[in-house]
Amino acid sequence: MKHMGVNTRFFMSRKTLWVIGSLTILCTFIIAAYAPLLTGESEFLGDDSYYILNNSFVQHLDFHSLCEIWTKHLEFDYFPVTLTSFALDCALWGLDPRMFHITNIIIFFCIGITAFSLSVIMNRNARSGETMGLYVSALAAVLLMLLHPTQVESVAGISNRKELLYVLFGLLAFRVYISESGRTLLIILALVCMTLAQLSKGTGIVLPFVLLAYELFYLKGQNSYKRIFTRLAPFFIISGLIFFCQFSVARDSGVIQSSPAVSPGMWAGGVLRTITIAAKQCVLPVKLTYDYDIKWPDGLRMGSEWLVPLFIGAVLALLLYRKKYAYLFLSLFILIPFLPYSNIVPLKHVIAGNLVYYDHYLLFPLAAASVFLARWFSVSLPWRRTIIAGIAVLAILYVFQDVRLSSSWRSGERLYKRALALAPGISRPYYFLGKVYLDKGRYAEALGLFISAQAMNQPYPTVDVYQWIGEAYALLGRYSEAEQYYRLHLSFKPDDKSSLQNLSSTLIMLKRDEEARAVIQRLLSLYPADPGALVNLSILERRNTGKGAAKGHENAGEP
């Protein structure tokens, strides 16, 4: 009974109640924000086809498929941890998008737990004066950062699980690393978490640099440089090897290509513009469309885009000068994970000449920012309670905004209609909405959107647009136009099976049999015994047989 009494007192202790209460509030807010994703009309969107719907190894989980996931890469990347999580979802729930959304929400909640734990452990020495103030500060900071509207894309986009897993394992690696007291086992566990983070997404390459900044600034003077090097060497070596493999896959697939004609001035201006845009998204998260049409600047010119980077640089310099090393590290903890997303490497992404930027790039920086804010809130300031009360109100407002945003992610039609309404001058939403209509059999509407997008005279978001337009024309019986776009698509992807099949069918409908036969022969040389090619070949054979019989009958009647 005495032992039972001790356990009861433990579970009813004030500290435990604060933890349970904080996590309950966090869970409630997250579920409220993303409840629309769990409705019956939820569907797979965007890259979900690439990772899940068109990936047989994900859909059939067994030892062979797991070996394929971990020993081979997809066309553009190597993220086996992410693919394994998709395979587990398929094995447990089948292809139900709602269950994939639930998994994303659970991972996001775990990110919140980890961020809350980091906020408490890294700020317990702050001048809070009492435990309650520290827990309230940590909860307020985590709620504010995790409910930020820019987080919606990371949670609502099923294929963005790679970002969620990377952030979760990255935060766990750091959490375990700072808990160690010279014990090798914890260092190994942190190394495992870091490896899982990078095998979820390649941007995990920055994690060893976060640990290095922690050793140099937060623990300044506590460890010798030799000990720091010995401890972190495995992290840098393993991370570098994984990144080399992932970079090679992306480079060979054509994803990573340097943007042409980017001068040093344009490069610096692009980085400054990206940082400024990210800061604006954080301060004023309105008109979020998850994907943005941002052009490279002409060069490095003095202007408003300098203000945010200069402010950040001035803050870091001031913290270093005043030897506020804890705050300096917490600032770097926010900035370092954003570096891979700042267009520091000018890539030729989907559209040449555009800066690459998505909302989910802010997931890790905002999660890390909760630790910084918790420290600031927990310091004994006369207006601390007022600030935390204001944060609570803002978090509630964020929930309403999150509900509106996550509602648009329930279907492709909702998502792209919203993007089109917010950015009517950008062609991409027209193309993607047109593809949705094409898949739903609304061919005339799809073609209308494609024609409207083409009239804007903007670069195509993907070369597959040519195939979509060709399909729309073909399904409306306009075969000459369909042929033109299938051939355009094949000029970029000469071995594409669908376009070869569709082009051969189109040529048959145009009664250009010899050209159709040549396309079918090419298709069969690339994909032997392809069913579509064999069907089209049989159509040609029957047509030629019929022609031969008709000609024979005609000749038989001649004198």
337 lies in the same domain as 234: yes
Segment (H or E) for 294: strand 294-295
pLDDT higher at 109 or 298: 109
CA distance 8 to 1: 10
Domain end residue (candidates: 392, 410, 428) = 410
For residue 439, the SS3 value is helix
Q: State the Cα–Cα distance between residues 270 and 261, nearest whole angstrom.
A: 13
Whether 393 is covered by a domain: the verdict is yes
**Residue 31 · residue 105 · CB < 8 Å:** yes
Q: 19 lies in a domain?
A: no
Residue 12 has pLDDT above 70, yes or no: no
Q: Is residue 429 a part of any domain in this protein?
A: yes
What token pair was written down for 476? 């409306």
Q: Which of 137-141, 148-152, 346-350, 419-423 reaches the highest mean pLDDT? A: 148-152
Q: Position of tokens 């803002």?
A: 394
Q: How confident is the model at residue 123 (pLDDT cuts 50, 70, 90)?
A: confident
Q: Locate 445 and state its tokens.
A: 């509407």
- Both 520 and 390 in a single domain? no
Residues 439 and 381 in one domain: no
N residues, the chain: 559
Question: Average pLDDT for residues 125-132, to the nearest whole number?
Answer: 61
Do the Cβ atoms of 119 and 370 come closer than 8 Å?
Answer: yes
Same domain, 100 and 157: yes
- Mean pLDDT across 100-113: 96
pLDDT digits (tens, 9 = 90+) for 345-359: 776 655 566 788 899
Q: What residues contact residue 226 under an 8 Å CB cut-off, 6+ apart?
A: none
Structural domain containing residue 457: 414-556
The closest alpha carbon to 28, from 395, 433, 464, 453, belongs to 395
Burial of 118 (0-12, 13-18, 19+ CB in 10 A): buried
In the chain, how long is the greatest CA-to-CA distance?
Answer: 119
Is residue 170 very low, low, confident or very high in pLDDT (cuts 50, 70, 90)?
Answer: very high
Nearest to 451 by CA among 463, 439, 468, 436: 468
- Indicate whether 22 belongs to any domain: no
CATH number for position 535: 1.25.40.10
Return the pLDDT at 76: 81
Q: Of 410, 433, 450, which residue sits at a domain end? A: 410
171 falls in which pLDDT band (50, 70, 90)?
A: very high
pLDDT at 410 over 60: yes
Angle between helix 384-408 and 363-378 (nearest 10): 160
> Do residues 256 and 386 lie in contact, with contact meaning Cβ atoms separated by under 8 Å?
no
HSE toward the beta carbon, residue 94, CA cutoff 13 A: 1
Q: How far from each other are the two terminal CA atoms of the chain, in whole angstroms?
A: 117
pLDDT per position as a tens digit, 281-329: 999 998 888 878 788 887 777 677 788 888 999 999 999 999 999 999 9
On whether both 241 and 149 belong to a single domain, the answer is: yes
d(CA 35, CA 38): 6
Note whether residue 2 is domain-resident: no
Looking at the fold, whether 380 and 343 belong to one and the same domain comes out as: yes
Asked if residue 512 has pLDDT above 80, the reply is yes
% the chain with pLDDT above 90: 49
pLDDT at 224: 86
pLDDT in tens, 380-406: 556 667 777 888 889 899 999 999 999
Cα–Cα dist 290/437, whole Å: 21
Q: Is the pLDDT of residue 497 over 60?
A: yes
| Greater pLDDT, 388 or 29 | 29
**Boundary of a domain, candidates 387, 410, 433:** 410
The C-alpha atoms of residue 65 and residue 57 are separated, in whole angstroms, by: 5
At position 178, the amino acid (one-letter code) is I
Answer yes or no: are the C-beta atoms of 134 and 168 closer than 8 Å: no
- The percent of residues above 70 in pLDDT, for the chain, comes to 89
Q: How far apart are CA 349 and CA 462, in angstroms?
A: 10
Is the pLDDT higher at 254 or at 54?
A: 54
Q: Say what the alpha-carbon torsion angle 516, 517, 519, 520 is, to the nearest 10 degrees.
A: 120
- Residue 547: per-residue pLDDT: 56
Res 33: pLDDT: 93
Q: Tell me the torsion sign for CA atoms 359, 364, 365, 371.
A: positive
pLDDT tens digits along 78-87 = 999 999 999 9
Residue (of 283, 254, 326, 305) closest to 77 by Cα position: 254
Tell whether 394 and 535 lie within a shared domain. Answer: no
Where is pLDDT greater, at 386 or 145?
145
The predicted model gives 141-166 an average pLDDT of: 94
- 8-state DSSP, 297: P
Q: Are 183 and 192 spatial neighbours (Cβ–Cβ below 8 Å)?
A: no
Do 257 and 152 sit in the same domain of this protein? yes
- pLDDT value at position 1? 40
Determine, yes or no, domain membership for 30: no
Beta strands in 98-247 (DSSP E): none
pLDDT at 555 over 60: no
pLDDT value for 351: 57
Residues 552 and 471 in one domain: yes
Shared domain for 439 and 507, answered yes or no, is: yes
Asked if the structure places residue 35 within a domain, the reply is: no
Q: What is the pTM of this model?
A: 0.88
What are the helix (H) ranges across 74-96?
80-93
Angle at 511 between CA 505 and CA 512, to 5 degrees: 85
Choose the most confident range, by mean pLDDT, from 365-369, 520-524, 536-540: 365-369
User: Mean pLDDT in the chain?
Assistant: 86
Mean pLDDT, rounded, for 19-43: 88
Would you state the structure tokens that stand for residue 449, as one six-digit string?
A: 């959107």
By CB atoms closer than 10 A (0-12, 13-18, 19+), residue 369 is buried
- Indicate whether 496 and 510 sit together in one domain: yes
pLDDT of the residue at 415: 92
Structure tokens at 125: 């020495």
Distances (CA, A) of 411 to 50, 156, 420, 461: 17, 11, 14, 20
Phi-psi region of 528 (alpha: psi -120 to 50; beta: other; left: phi over 0): beta
Q: What is the DSSP string of 305-374?
A: GGHHHHHHHHHHHHHHHTT-HHHHHHHHHHHGGGGGGTTSS-B--SSTTEEP-BGGGGHHHHHHHHHHHH
What is the rounded distance in angstroms from the CA atom of residue 109 to the CA atom of residue 29? 10
Q: How confident is the model at residue 2 (pLDDT cuts 50, 70, 90)?
A: very low
Neighbours of 40 (CB within 10 A): 6
Instruction: State how far the Cα of 365 lies from the Cα of 360, in Å rounded to an integer.
Output: 10
| pLDDT of the residue at 302 | 64
In a domain, 63, yes or no: yes
Tokens at 219, concatenated: 């623990």
Number of domains in the chain: 2
* Same domain assignment for residues 433 and 406: no
Q: Is residue 482 scored above 70 in pLDDT?
A: yes
pLDDT at 121 over 70: yes
